[in-house]
Amino acid sequence: MAEKLPDFKNSLAIHDVLIDKKEKEEPFETTYLVSEEVYTKATVPKPEKVSIWLGANVMVEYELDKAKELLEKNRGNVQKAVDELTSELAFVKDQITTTEVNIAHV
């Protein structure tokens, strides 16, 4: 799960660029994936919506502000889960050490 955090950070950074371009009403050129190993260029006149992969082969189109809310919420949920799992892992490691010491005394 921790490997997802950089993806959220990158998505939010790109999202901030899109918001900046929208506010400036400045078109920009991008390269996007058409299929495996096939890319093409496109000019985006004024970004207003983004498509986000939700998983299980589901992609949903969101307004920029709603997309940012969703990404930040999901990043927070992932960070919370990583923190909880790290805490639980530390507890389990401590229990393993205690068990090994007790077995050594027997």
What pLDDT score was predicted for residue 26?
85
pLDDT in tens, the chain (106 residues): 778 888 888 899 989 989 998 898 888 899 988 998 899 999 998 889 999 988 888 999 999 999 999 999 999 999 999 999 999 999 999 999 999 999 998 7
Domains of the chain with bracketed CATH? 2-105 (1.10.287.370)
Strand 28-35, strand 49-55: pairing = unpaired
Q: How far is CA 19 from CA 42, 49, 70, in A?
A: 18, 10, 15
- Determine contact, residues 71/86, Cβ cutoff 8 Å: no
CA–CA gap between residue 27 and residue 69 (Å, rounded): 24
Q: Given its phi and psi angles, is residue 90 left (phi above 0), alpha (psi -120 to 50 degrees) or beta?
A: alpha
What pLDDT score was predicted for residue 62?
95
